[in-house]
Amino acid sequence: MMSLDTSHPNIPEIDQSDRMVPANLRQSGPTPVDMLISTRVRKSPFWHLSHEAGCWRATVYNRMYHPRGYIRPEDGGAMAEYDALVNRVTLWNVAVERQIRVSGPEAEAFVNRVITRDATRIEPMHGKYVILCNEDGGILNDPVLLRLGPDEFWFSVSDTDLMLWLQGLNVGLAYGVDIHEIDVAPLQIQGPLSEDLMADLFGDDIHQMAYYGLMDTELAGCPVLVSQTGFSGEAGFEIYVREASEKAEAVWNALLEAGEAYGLQVIAPALHRRIAAGILSWGQDMDMETSPFQVNLAYQVPRRKPADYIGRPALEAQRAEIDAGHFPFRLKMAGLTMGGEPITDYAPDFWLISSEGTRVGYVTSSFWSPELGTNIALGFVPAGLTEPGTRLEVELPDVYAEVAGEPVEAEVAELPLRPSAHRSARERARSEGHAETA
């Protein structure tokens, strides 16, 4: 191993020439400043409740404050939250997943135009994980799309101003739809005991609920929509609180009360578990300059969708190159296992992948996996180095390095690194012998 110069924070020798704006590799972890809580950023209906539950740090997501830690480092921190997730049941404030409703007589046709998957195949009271792309095939958003009825869809959006893009598109497309954010705020119930807790609250129908199925019901006299979905890789559900500005406290307190019997813990979304599951985070693992073919989302680009959609010509051109044996991008996402001291919290830098002393890529997400007994990561590496078993080296912040200033050994690993409670379409296609790009 050899020490590498880290004097330039943006690491210019990594080839990102196929991007307009190269990824800045020093964006994560603690900083020596206090974050101002101001009226410029929205507080969700659960913000004060998260504070009461012990939230001690937050970030900004979808222009809203997002709790990112409840258990203090001296009490076990993120790894104690992880233990609650994988062994019991947890409650997450995910109101930052703003709900953008598209409704009206041409809702299905409009939604079908903006997502890559076939919206006509989503039945009412069901959902799907989907992506929306720009004309270059870059991923603009990867929401869970909920279909409440023939003419009503909710986009549960990741970290972009998707509503503005949808509204702007329809100025020109002129579909017969209404596009607005609505007063709905989601919570997640995640962990192996989540189904038992949810059955206590909503009855035995929970046990027959399909993955991505929806249920219109009430909790504590408040109207809610329940889905069997989540962002953890564990079994879990989301509870979309309607009229959230008024009903948030009643629903939150009912969950805390019912959860006492199961050891429920309020935690932040678990970065470590979703890495193991291969679940991507928009803005961290991908953005509008990332093609789905770079991040294992080829299954989101159907070969035979009847209707046209935004980005189709670019994506089909990319697929044609791949089918011809040429990968049209310099970097591709891979799963990694790697050495170093256990990474038990957000580190101060993204970690840089090196091979034979040359920086060639970068890590987007990383944490310690107790089950695998190693640090795990998602990262972008040259397309020719993504075969499982490929040996690489990774530079870690000194606090996690085995020797300060020295890279550690890493190995490309097949995703998911740890199976999910519900396998993705990509995982099912692979296990059934189908091509990921079908």
> pLDDT digits over 39-53, tens only?
999 999 999 999 999
Which has the minimum average pLDDT: 33-37, 87-91, 305-309?
A: 33-37
What pLDDT does 397 receive?
87
State the Cα–Cα distance between residues 225 and 389, nearest whole angstrom: 43
Side-chain-facing half-sphere of 249: CA atoms under 13 Å: 4
> Distances in Å between the alpha carbon of 316 and those of 113, 194, 335, 377, 436?
16, 40, 25, 29, 15
Single-letter residue type at 51 = H
Structural domain boundaries in the chain:
280-431
What DSSP string describes 13-59? TS--TT-SSPPPS---S--SSPPP--TTSBPPTTHHHHHHTT--EEE
What is the SS3 assignment for 283?
Answer: coil
A 10 A CB-CB count for 30 gives 10
| Domain 280-431 is found in CATH 1.10.287.3510 | no
pLDDT tens profile 131-173: 999 999 999 999 999 999 999 999 999 999 999 999 999 999 9
Q: What is the mean pLDDT of residues 101-121?
A: 98
pTM: 0.93
Q: Which of 282, 405, 399, 415 is nearest to 346 (CA)?
A: 399
